[in-house]
Structure 1
Amino acid sequence: MVFDKTLCSSVLVLLCVQLLAAATTKLVPGLAKASVTNINRSHSNSAVNNFPINGLPPLTYSTKKYFFYDEEATFLEAWNLCREKGQRLATIESYQDHVAYKEQVEPYVDYETAHWIAATNMGASSSDYQKFYWITNDRPVGYINGFSNWYDGEAPNASDQCVATYLGSALWIYGSCTSLSPYACEEPQDV
């Protein structure tokens, strides 16, 4: 019974499409045979026609702009150095941010580069060691959409850890906040 109704509905839709196509070609004679033989390019030197489509960067859907500094600093020094530059320590709060970060860090990585980002669990109680937060906006990591990118698959269970990105993969690694490392900043955004 269900099969018969589905078959009838499909046949009815097909007939409607055919009738619509036939009616359209009758209303506009020669529609199926139409062709363009002359294109007026009076604006051939305009900026629209000369727009460099192939020269555009890939679309990432993240509005963040990241900056990478080779100067080694502790986590808190990196946080302060970003502030002195009118920036803030980088946050990667979504997959789109991750893609943008990864694209932007690529020219700066070598075989032993890690960059501090703004995630930390400094000051967490022993039951909350795996709860990291972004020092720049005080939101928990994963607050917006659950995104995290841990190298080991999950947050470490250790106290007073700070997060850096690992090489061009931009996977998150952790270490002592007093370790020296290059760092990544971002332009501040209105929240």
Structure 2
Amino acid sequence: MAVQLLLTALCVAFVALNGIEGATEAKYKYVAILQPSTFFEAWQDCNIKGGHLASIESPQEQARVEKAMAKARDPRAVFFFGGTDLGRKGRWMWIHSNKPIGNGGYTNFFPGQPDNGGGSQDCLTVGVADGYNRGKWDDQNCLYRLDGYICAFKSTSSSAS
């Protein structure tokens, strides 16, 4: 419990220090990193590499994230990306920009999700499953070590993936 409170405080401090990113039209290159990690390890690693955990705010961004996941070549992999409700249960935010998820109208949750199963699912995941479930979002415990994570890096080219 103390660890989760500390991690929540760190999340809030990080968002406060980084402020709100201005341009929602910025192009990003998405990279799916297959490295077993908790949400917090993934968040830290993306930042160390010069990026951030991906925010998915449109069908076009979703398609680019799915393309990055396909390059990872693990059809069963589940990845953390940058959504959390750690600050307030049920109020999902993009950790990088502090913007509410779905603010622009786009979400891609599995039916019935997020459900906060077990009372401790505060971080968003995306999976590669084929068919209807391809790229659907789910909430998961932030401390679980999943297959990997999706980082977003600012791109200077118009063909960001």
Please indicate, yes or no, whether the TM-score normalized by the shorter chain is above 0.5.
Answer: yes
- Residue 48 of structure 2 is matched in structure 1 by 84
Q: CA deviation at 1:153?
A: 4.9
Deviations 1:11-66 (A, max 9, x none): xxxxxxxxxxxxxxxxxxxxxxxxxxxxxxxxxxxxxxxxxxxxxxxxxx983210
Q: Please, what TM-score do these two structures have when normalized by structure 2?
A: 0.69
**Of 88, 92, 97, which residue of structure 2 is paired with 1:132?**
92
Q: Does 1:183 align with 2:149?
A: yes
8 Å CA contact 2:32, 2:71 repeated in 1: no
Q: Mapping of 1:140-151 within 5 angstroms? A: 140-143=100-103, 145-151=104-110
RMSD: 2.1
**Of 5, 10, 28, which residue of structure 2 is paired with 1:64?**
28
Q: Please, what TM-score do these two structures have when normalized by structure 1?
A: 0.59
Q: CA deviation at 1:123?
A: 2.7
- Residue 163 of structure 1 is matched in structure 2 by 124
Q: CA deviation at 1:159?
A: 4.8
Q: Does 1:110 align with 2:74?
A: yes
8 Å CA contact 2:28, 2:152 repeated in 1: yes
Alignment: residue pair count: 124
**Amino acid of the residue matched to residue 88 of structure 1?**
H
Query: What is the rounded CA distance, in whole Å, between the counterparts of 1:178 and 1:118 in structure 2?
Result: 14
Q: What is the DSSP-based 3-state SS (H/G/I as helix, E as strand, rest coil) of the residue aligned with 1:67? A: strand
Query: What is the rounded CA distance, in whole Å, between the counterparts of 1:137 and 1:66 in structure 2?
Result: 16
Q: Mapping of 1:27-42 within 5 angstroms? A: none
Uncovered stretches (5+) of structure 1, i.e. residues with no partner? 1-60
Query: What is the rounded CA distance, in whole Å, between the counterparts of 2:57 and 2:115 in structure 1?
Result: 18
Q: Does 1:174 align with 2:135?
A: no
CA separation of 1:62 and 1:172: change in aligned 2, threshold 3 A? farther
Query: What is the rounded CA distance, in whole Å, between the counterparts of 1:93 and 1:109 in structure 2?
Result: 24
Query: What is the rounded CA distance, in whole Å, between the counterparts of 1:179 and 1:100 in structure 2?
Result: 25
Deviating 4+ runs (over 4 angstroms): 157-160
Q: What is the DSSP-based 3-state SS (H/G/I as helix, E as strand, rest coil) of the residue aligned with 1:79? A: helix
Q: What is the DSSP-based 3-state SS (H/G/I as helix, E as strand, rest coil) of the residue aligned with 1:149? A: coil
Larger Rg over CA atoms: 1
